[in-house]
Amino acid sequence: MNTYLQTIRSHLMGLSLLLCSTSLYPMTSQMSAGMPQLSPQEQKQLEAEMASFQDEFNKLSPQEQESFYQSMEEAVQKIEELSQTDEGKELLDKLDKGDISDEELDQLINQLVGEEAKEEEGEKEPEIEVEEAKAAPKPPVILSTKEAQAIDIISTLIIRTDSFLVKIGTIPEFPGNIKQWSKKGKISWTGDVNSWPDLKKDLEKLVTQLSILLEQDPKTSEYYHIDELLKNEALYNNIRKVHTVIIENEPKVEEVSPLHKINKASKVAIQKLLNQYIEALYILKIPEELTALIKKFDPKAQAARETEEKATKAAELAAKREPRAPGRPIVAGTAEEPMMYTPLYDEYPERRAPRTAAKTFIPEAPSRAYAPPTSSKSVAAPARGKAPSAVSGKVKKEEDKAKKEDETGIPKEYREQVAAMDKKRQEDIDRLTNTIADMIDSVAKGLAASPPLKVIEKHLIDETPVDIELVTEIIPDTQRELSMRKGIQGKMSELHSKIRTPKGRKASQAKLKKQYEKHKKTFEEVEKQITAVEQKFDALKTSIPTEKLYAYFGMKEELPTMEGKEADLPIENVEKKLEEIAKETKTEEETLEKAVEYLESSLAEAEGEVSAERELVEAAAGPLREIERKIPSPISLFELRNSLRELKQTIDEFDKAPIKATQK
């Protein structure tokens, strides 16, 4: 409410005249006689202000509009009360004559709405701030099928390329391998680039460019570059080609533990990936094309990035102002304590296992021949037959334990770090496994809850309406759950990268396989139904209503249109009839009268026929237009079927993934 009162304030004279005049001069047919006379320019300005205000007002909900009307009535009541005071009467008279200044107008509006607004703000300020903070989610972005597919392809390329670079970094012999492959012609270098370091730099730049394609407007959440990418069909098709090769071969590349070599399947996959990346970078010139595409919207995106950077710098500045922990005290005249260096170990300690200390041979008992002479001060051995004391036994036990720990050659602190990281990694693995299992369960329940999916062929050609829940909720939700970026496939890729032990892999494999088998019948039944429709789609297509073709397959058939069609009379028939009328009549006046009568009746009949035809066309197009309004971006059932196949393939590949003997 305060927003619209502030809007009234910003409109100054125009809307203030409206506000006050509605109480002083009631809205009647004689309203213009009582209202202040405005110049044509002021009248035009007032009309523009009112049109703008009306547009904003129409966006409010019925409850908000009712609340606004109530506030306006309160404002009118206050004007009547204000007119009873000398000061108020003077201000209203000035407003009536149009001689009121901006300061006096502000004073008048403050008396009407200022105090109440201030009281509301004072009482509810903390509450409003909390609500605004919570009620500021980004508006949902409605994506077309092609846009969603493009975003998924780009996201997959980023994830897979990053994963490939990480895996290559674990292969010690890779620099030597790539030189040998180059000599044998298995790597097709082109242009000036003929070494892995240069190719790696360009790949990292490509990942950065692909990430920029996914930039969104912070306010509207709209993607800056996706529409432009889809318009550039050549570039988009090249990216899709690269995507196909990457998703086929990148999963075959395995990370290699120290002192182990890559297997043959990994070598072949790496060679295919390298050749595809070389083609993408230096033959298809994808980076150059992306640079040109990004430049088209770069000013807008750059402005958004600068806004985010300013917010980040402000947060960093605020953090610097916080109290800092005191440093080490330095006392004059005393030596400074030495700074001890503690090595930092990476996330996977098995790759950096320290060398074990060389074991020193310690005989169980000293040889008598070489026993050193005992000193008179040496400790006497316990008397024969006398049991050692409990203290000495405890000391020996602790010494044996310490000796055992020392023989590993690994510091105790490091072992504790490793144990903590292993525990954290296992927690992540368990969390991911449970998340994927829940997502599989959610997808299956959603599909099972939709009756049309069980008899989809019958539903497509019968008279039942489009299942709105299926096309607006179940299918889109299922696609999101199955997506590569944030869905099951993305989670599976993350899970695969975290598992480091045979035991952990077996546990995850067993749980996910069991969950999939639990719902396997539902998945296979839906896939079977959609495949059956696809096999005879050409024959079914003529029997499927246009609104169902659009809702379930994204196909928009051309409908007959009446645009530009008007009532028309065949000129030959008209001429023939006019000749007959001329022969039948005796005078020109009678001929003209009969001709006009004929033309009017014939034209009315033709217009009736056109109107009836128009009604039929509108009736046929009505259901499609209604569905288009409810479903702006339908997802094809064939896409859903393909996603279910990919889910099965992903589960099977994970279930059959070999467990390396080197994983410990």
Asked whether residue 333 is domain-assigned, the answer is no
Rounded CA separation 623/629 (Å): 10
Mean pLDDT of 4-30: 43
Asked whether residue 362 is domain-assigned, the answer is no
Structure confidence at residue 243 (pLDDT):
92
- Between 48-57, 334-343, 611-620, the lowest mean confidence (pLDDT) is in 334-343
Rounded-to-10 torsion of CA 110, 112, 116, 118: -10
Tens of pLDDT, residues 206-265: 999 999 888 888 778 888 889 889 989 889 999 999 998 998 888 888 877 655 677 888
Q: Could you tell me if residue 473 is left (phi over 0), alpha (psi between -120 and 50 degrees) or otherwise beta?
A: alpha
Rounded CA separation 40/340 (Å): 84
Structure confidence at residue 353 (pLDDT):
40
Residue 481: C-alpha distances to residues 116, 457, 529, 564 (Å): 49, 25, 21, 47
> In what helix (H) or strand (E) does residue 435 lie, and over which residues does it extend?
helix 412-448
DSSP conformation class of 352: G
Tens of pLDDT, residues 91-145: 777 777 767 777 777 777 777 665 444 444 444 444 444 444 444 555 566 778 8
Are 528 and 622 contained in the same domain?
no
Are 459 and 511 contained in the same domain?
yes
Strand partners, 216: 223
Asked whether residue 344 is domain-assigned, the answer is no
Number of H helices, E strands in the chain: 29, 0
Structure confidence at residue 203 (pLDDT):
92
Asked whether residue 663 is domain-assigned, the answer is no
CA angle 434, 438, 442 (to 5 degrees): 170
Are 647 and 599 contained in the same domain?
no
Structure confidence at residue 569 (pLDDT):
64
Asked whether residue 358 is domain-assigned, the answer is no
pTM listed for this prediction: 0.35
Are 427 and 537 contained in the same domain?
yes
Mean pLDDT of 146-168: 90
* Exposure on the CB side of residue 180, measured as CA atoms within 13 A: 6
Tens of pLDDT, residues 52-81: 777 777 777 777 777 777 777 777 777 778
Are 117 and 193 contained in the same domain?
no
Q: How far apart are the first and last CA of the chain?
A: 65
Rounded CA separation 172/174 (Å): 6
CA angle 314, 316, 319 (to 5 degrees): 110
Among 251, 286, 314, the domain boundary falls at: 314
Alpha helices in 100-139 (DSSP H): 102-109, 115-134
User: pLDDT band at residue 300, thresholds of 50, 70 and 90?
Assistant: low
Are 614 and 640 contained in the same domain?
no
Tens of pLDDT, residues 302-331: 676 677 777 777 777 766 665 555 555 555
Q: Could you tell me if residue 285 is left (phi over 0), alpha (psi between -120 and 50 degrees) or otherwise beta?
A: left
Tens of pLDDT, residues 535-573: 888 888 888 888 888 888 887 655 455 455 565 667 777
Are 52 and 185 contained in the same domain?
no
Asked whether residue 334 is domain-assigned, the answer is no
Mean pLDDT of all residues belonging to the chain: 73
User: pLDDT band at residue 392, thresholds of 50, 70 and 90?
Assistant: low
DSSP conformation class of 60: S
Asked whether residue 431 is domain-assigned, the answer is yes
For 269, the token pair is 């996959």
* 43 or 491, which is more confident: 491
Residue 481 · residue 439 · CB < 8 Å = yes
For 468, the token pair is 């709105």
Which of these, 88, 172, 496, 529, lies nearest to 351 by C-alpha position? 172
Rounded CA separation 489/494 (Å): 9
Are 47 and 16 contained in the same domain?
yes
> In what helix (H) or strand (E) does residue 167 lie, and over which residues does it extend?
helix 145-169
Q: Could you tell me if residue 466 is left (phi over 0), alpha (psi between -120 and 50 degrees) or otherwise beta?
A: beta
Are 530 and 600 contained in the same domain?
no
Which of these, 424, 402, 400, 422, lies nearest to 411 by C-alpha position? 402
Tens of pLDDT, residues 401-426: 655 555 555 667 767 777 788 788 88
Rounded CA separation 243/159 (Å): 11
Tens of pLDDT, residues 614-631: 666 565 565 667 777 777
Structure confidence at residue 157 (pLDDT):
92
Are 456 and 592 contained in the same domain?
no
Among 69, 102, 134, the domain boundary falls at: 134
Q: Domain range for residue 268?
A: 145-314
Look at the chain and count its residues.
664
Asked whether residue 303 is domain-assigned, the answer is yes
Among 69, 100, 134, the domain boundary falls at: 134
Which of these, 223, 195, 220, 372, lies nearest to 293 by C-alpha position? 223
Are 10 and 110 contained in the same domain?
yes
* Backbone torsions φ then ψ of 223, nearest 5 degrees: -80, 135
Give how many domains the chain has, as a whole number: 4
Are 532 and 585 contained in the same domain?
no
